[in-house]
Amino acid sequence: MVLLAACFAVLFIAAGGYQALRKVWRFQRSRRRWGKSGGTSSATTGQQRKTLVADLRDVRDFAFNLQLGTSMEATLSGALTETAQQFAARKGIFGERLKRQVDAKLASSPEDVIRGLAEDFDSLQLREMLDRLAMAREGGVSYERALAISVDSIEEDIRAQVEQEIQQAQTKLTVPMVVGVFGPPLVIGILPLIARMLGILSR
């Protein structure tokens, strides 16, 4: 009976039951969250759907371009203008938002451009960059040095993200590997028992 139960479990997983259970579980969790929050307005839901995600590599390249520009004795405003032109050629969402923020807020202050980007993407890295630039301005440290620290910090975040994705990939591959290794022997071993049980029931 234990062997029979194990076989049915493996067949259930192989047939996609595991993924189905995960979908049901996620649906139930979303229902519970909805019930706890008492529902959300359509405006709030629309804002959540419009949340943008910045690729950390784009954020790193953005910080590196600013660092390079300020290291060549360019102002932060000039570095932002040059960086916006470079990102415009990539035709990505980050470049589009950067150009929009530069056009709208660079005349006010370069910090407002970075702050606007941080709000667009809800980016912790961009907020930390903004804090470092403010500390550099108040402490007499060069912008180039503050941006170099930001580049190193973002590189660390990228490495951590890659390691996490590798660990998640290993976890996702565990079930298919178990099914592939143990599934055929279990099926072969259980088929005679199923045939015997069917024979008994047919009598």
7, 54, 155 from 152: Cα distances, Å: 51, 17, 5
Q: Is residue 81 part of a domain?
A: yes
Residue 199: predicted pLDDT: 78
Cα distance between residue 199 and residue 203, in whole Å: 6
At residue 17, φ and ψ (nearest 5 deg) are -65, -35
If you average pLDDT over residues 53-64, what whole number do you get? 94
Q: What is the domain range of residue 118?
A: 56-160
pLDDT bucket at 201, cuts 50 / 70 / 90: confident
How many domains does the chain contain in total? Answer: 1
Asked, for residue 64, whether it belongs to a domain, the answer is yes
14 within some domain: no
Q: For position 98, what pLDDT does the model report?
A: 95
196 falls within a domain: no
Give the whole-number percent of the chain exceeding pLDDT 90.
46
pLDDT the model gives residue 19? 46
**What whole-number distance in Å separates Cα of residue 152 and Cα of residue 163?**
17
Band (pLDDT 50/70/90 cuts) for residue 36 is very low
104 in a structural domain: yes
CB 189 within 8 A of CB 164: no
Q: For residue 117, which of 61, 42, 190, 73 has the smallest C-alpha distance? A: 61
Specify the pTM: 0.62
* Domain membership flag for residue 88: yes
Let me know if residue 93 belongs to a domain. Answer: yes
Given this model, what pLDDT does residue 61 score? 96
126 and 80 Cβ atoms separated by less than 8 Å:
no
Confidence of residue 105 (pLDDT cuts 50, 70, 90): very high
Least confident of 27-36, 105-114, 164-173, 181-190: 27-36
